[in-house]
Chains A and B, each alone.
Chain A
């Protein structure tokens, strides 16, 4: 079946512009994650969705970053007034999830190919 897809694959934008990144998860995966990876670095967690809800937004670097998910499927990550330090590869992942009150149990995450964002 189809994997996680992301668009665009590459985005070059001028400082101060807004950008929108899209993620299409694997069908049936209720959990969706956004990460950021700067050159040569590990993955930095940004935000997690369970269904359309984002219980944990603590990883968003600033209020210029926002994300939403509709219909329990597609998610968009929006960066307003982009800065050069926003340049990175933005990775989306989806997974099954076992969620009960006060408990979260993760399964393996399936990653998309990423969007390489360059802010000039």
Chain B
């Protein structure tokens, strides 16, 4: 069953703009992770945020977590063409696996 659901399903912006993607989930979690996937192959881990954390930064990435609303957001600032990819959130419920959402397809236009 789907735990994380990303919103929007697709996002197209101009280079230099900020991109925000959201993830909602249904049950309590240990942590939530964001991954990027280029060209439908291997995923790259971006950020892990634990349930007792509210915000984390990594370079141009900012992730927030609101456990009361069961939601997370990924913000990419000053977007670049190389940021074009699919972005997935994944939740760890302590059930020995990550459950991935369907992803947001981000396109950065030059």
A48 near B97: Cβ-Cβ < 8 Å: yes
B42 near A104: Cβ-Cβ < 8 Å: no
A105 near B42: Cβ-Cβ < 8 Å: no
B40 near A89: Cβ-Cβ < 8 Å: yes
A120: shortest Cβ distance to chain B, in Å? 19
Contact of A113 among B31, B42, B90, B95 (CB under 8 A): B42
Interface size of B by CB at 8 A reads 25
Task: Flag whether B13 is at the interface (Cβ < 8 A).
Answer: no
A41-B102, A42-B101, A108-B48 known; A103-B94 Cβ under 8 A: yes
B102 near A48: Cβ-Cβ < 8 Å: no
**Chain A contact residues: over half helix, strand or loop, or mixed?**
strand
Residues of B with Cβ closer than 8 Å to A? 2, 30-31, 33, 35, 40-45, 48, 88, 90, 92, 94-103
Contact of A91 among B42, B90, B97, B103 (CB under 8 A): B42
Interface size of A by CB at 8 A reads 29
B30 near A37: Cβ-Cβ < 8 Å: no
B99 near A45: Cβ-Cβ < 8 Å: yes
Contact of B43 among A56, A59, A91 (CB under 8 A): A91
Q: Bound state CA distance, A88 and B100, in angstroms?
A: 16
Q: Which residues from B are CB-within-8-Å of A103?
A: 94
Q: Which residues from A are CB-within-8-Å of B102?
A: 41-42
A45 near B97: Cβ-Cβ < 8 Å: yes
**10 intermolecular pairs with C-beta atoms under 8 Å apart:** A35-B100, A41-B102, A42-B100, A45-B100, A89-B41, A91-B43, A105-B92, A109-B33, A109-B98, A111-B35
Q: Bound state CA distance, A95 and B92, in angstroms?
A: 13
Q: Which residues from A are CB-within-8-Å of B98?
A: 33, 45, 106, 109
A50 near B96: Cβ-Cβ < 8 Å: yes
Q: Which residues from A are CB-within-8-Å of B94?
A: 103-105
Q: Bound state CA distance, A89 and B38, in angstroms?
A: 13
Whose C-beta in chain A lies nearest to the C-beta of B105?
A40
Task: Flag whether A110 is at the interface (Cβ < 8 A).
Answer: yes
A53: shortest Cβ distance to chain B, in Å? 11
